[in-house]
Amino acid sequence: MASESTVRPDQQLDADALDFHMKPVPGKLGVAPTKPMATQRDLALAYSPGVAAPVRAIAADPETVYDYTSKGNMVAVVSNGTAILGLGNLGAAASKPVMEGKAVLFKRFADLDAVDIEVDYTDPDQFIECVRGFGNTFGGINLEDIKAPECFEIERRLREELDIPVFHDDQHGTAIIAAAGLINACDLTGKKMEDLKVVLCGAGAAGLSVLELIESLGVQSKNTTVVDIDGVVYKGRPGGHERLMKHAVETDKRTLAEAAKGADVLLGLSAAGVFTKDIVASLAPDPIIFAMANPTPEITPEEVAEVRSDVIMATGRSDYPNQVNNVLGFPYIFRGALDVRARTINEEMKIAAARALAALAREDVPDEVAKAYKVDRLQFGRDYIIPTPFDPRLIAWVPPFVAQAAIDTGVARRPIEHADSYKQVLARRLDPTAALQQRISASIRAEQKTIVFAEGEEPAVIRAAHAFQTQGLGKAILVARENVVAENMKELGIPAGSLDVCNARLSEHNSEYADYLYERLQRQGYLRRDVQRRVNNDRNVFSACMLKMGHADGMVTGVTRHSNVVMNDVELVLDPVAGSRTVGVTAAVTRGRTLIIGDVSVTEFPEAQALAEIAIATANAAKRLGLTPHVAFLSYSSFGNPPGERSTKIQHAVSLLDEQGVDFEYEGEMAADVALDPDHHQLYPFSRLTQPANVLIMPAVHSASIAVRLLKAAGGATVIGPMLVGLEKPVQIARLGASVSDIVNLAGIAAYDLNQPAVAAK
């Protein structure tokens, strides 16, 4: 057990991060084939002898490499580890987790495949020669975490020697996002780029690139002052590399405080606390401060507000408005560049990206984006000059600007023939799992509901509750004994008192819960003492009573008990929603398709009436998750062939829905391949489904469980759930021994409450 003096607040985060990177397999990346490899013919086409055909085609016309290989959707993330995050020169091998993470971001935000390559050369010439040798096998090169000033020379020479986009994100990513924010800040303050007096504090790769990009937008170099660790960069100052001294100015000012007097813009890419309140007070009216040091900015918005109220401010942090986050840039810049097979990423493409981001911030903001900021409505203004990184419109908005700039400047190998069609293709690239989870997270962050974690003494549950609360998803309550929780929190390195604990036996509501439960169960063979014992000792019963009496909004349990046992406990307290049925629903996302599957956990062999009710509950859950339901009742037969008892029950369920006049499409009975086939109308022209099914109603729990596990294990699907719907209060039951991430996700679903009326489907 760790002693109190050795426990660090981030101790558990470090342990979780190591565990995350190690299990279930080491690392964050894998390789999946895009073509089937199931038959001898598949292998013959993929390799010898069939592969000879594209080999000859590429030899005859090298440009066809984009047609016959993955080059056009592949980025190399390359580093030598000489400037890893804020950790310094720790070597190429140590940079690999960061580079894998960058590759994951490419996939998550822009559906680009990326491979991390760690080059064990610190000498620029050796590094350049190495990357030049393999570079053209990729569609683009993203340089990362290479120290200045070597990074400037490395990028310049690789851009000259390779015929593909080469982009050092540490420089240009920050520059593009900051430039977008500056465009909008000028619009709001009425300032003109050419008149701005700009002071840059922090003359590293990012800082100098920000300065150079805003100069391309109209800021005059004579009006800029650079300040580094040695003070103002002035003409004649000894030392300093060529890229830095290019920005030296004639001035007698030597300190940041002197340079900042009367400045319109103060850019910080340096260190925490560098900007003082006196410096802020000395700036021109309506000043623009971008304090972008991470994790702690040069000055906080709260500190600035103590001095003056006319400031437009941005930071690098997500917990303040106007976050300068590189993920707003590099995925979409490469997406646009690769889609037109660009030979480089030039200044015009960077400016196009900056202008695109600035324009998006001025557009009407979707509700889910506003909720992520915990406001009812988010509008372009001083606290919203830069889009949020999780704005789902980014994928279809930014790449077309970049692609068009590449076309206009002659660096594109192919045009975009139909702009609207291109935007639609881009929108379909958005990871549907991420979109679903984003919808849930944005909503619950705005609502801040209280979730009770019934098994509050379990270390995994304590960690999940702490993560749920610290991520701003809502308030967590642990049902547990205080001394046990305190000991476990100390062991886990979680600050004492950071979570509320409710001891069932000592609760002020204990008698109230027992009274309610006795009245409910007294005619079912329960004595008063039986009920009191359940309230005192059964945390699921106590937690469900908390929900029933309005003392919590949702509940998560199941980590230590089988789901059927948990359901029996919960159903002692809670009823199904009037006219509904309790159903287990799973979302499975595979190959760009989201499938909602029910019932996966509650009714073992549903009859016709139960099947109809399951369909209604599952369709409503799909709507709540943002989908338009197209419901298929699955069976081994399709429309009576071959016939059987289960098929008859499904047919009866369909007829029951016909009588009710429900507001969603449904059809059945159908085999799974028929339900998912967009061309099934050719065989069954009478089918009422206008699109392939996305809500699948299973004939029994065992078939649902088998299907979900097959999708996950063999089909590579991302599975969310099972999610419980249909109870009068939101309860989610985790699987036995669930991970911390699973518990946090289910807590979010409980807070989202799938029983609520659906949001607008899309």
* Strands 224-228 and 231-232, bridge-based pairing: antiparallel
Q: How far is 556 from 679, CA to CA, in rounded Å?
A: 41
Q: How far is 591 from 700, CA to CA, in rounded Å?
A: 25
Q: How far is 536 from 525, CA to CA, in rounded Å?
A: 19
Partner residues linked to 149 by β-bridges: none
CB 313 within 8 A of CB 322: yes
- DSSP states along 225-269: EEEETTEE-BTT-S---HHHHTT-B--S--SHHHHHTT-SEEEE-
| E strand map for 119-193 | 140-143, 166-168
Catalytic residue chosen out of the listed positions 28, 66, 71, 102:
102
Catalytic residue chosen out of the listed positions 23, 28, 35, 47:
47
Confirm whether 107 is a catalytic residue.
no
Confirm whether 47 is a catalytic residue.
yes
Q: How far is 193 from 186, CA to CA, in rounded Å?
A: 7
Q: Name the token pair of 353.
A: 């990206």
Say if residue 459 is preceded by a cis peptide, omega within 30 of 0: no
CB 307 within 8 A of CB 275: no
Give the number of C-alpha atoms closer than 13 A to the C-alpha of residue 741, restricted to the C-beta side. Answer: 9
Tell me which long-range contacts 475-478 makes (C-beta under 8 A, separation of at least 24).
Answer: 475/448, 475/449, 475/450, 475/451, 475/500, 476/450, 476/451, 476/500, 476/747, 477/450, 477/451, 477/452, 477/453, 477/501, 477/502, 477/546, 477/552, 478/452, 478/453, 478/502
What residues contact residue 206 under an 8 Å CB cut-off, 6+ apart?
Answer: 170, 171, 174, 175, 269, 292
Q: How far is 742 from 756, CA to CA, in rounded Å?
A: 22
What residues contact residue 277 under an 8 Å CB cut-off, 6+ apart?
Answer: 299, 303, 304, 306, 307
Q: How far is 387 from 350, CA to CA, in rounded Å?
A: 17
* Strands 450-453 and 554-557, bridge-based pairing: parallel
Q: ∠ CA(625), CA(743), CA(741), 5° rounding?
A: 90
CB 467 within 8 A of CB 456: no
The side-by-side arrangement of strands in the sheet containing 166-168 is 113-118, 74-79, 140-143, 166-168
Q: How far is 132 from 156, CA to CA, in rounded Å?
A: 12
CB 290 within 8 A of CB 320: no
Q: Which residues are catalytic?
A: 47, 102
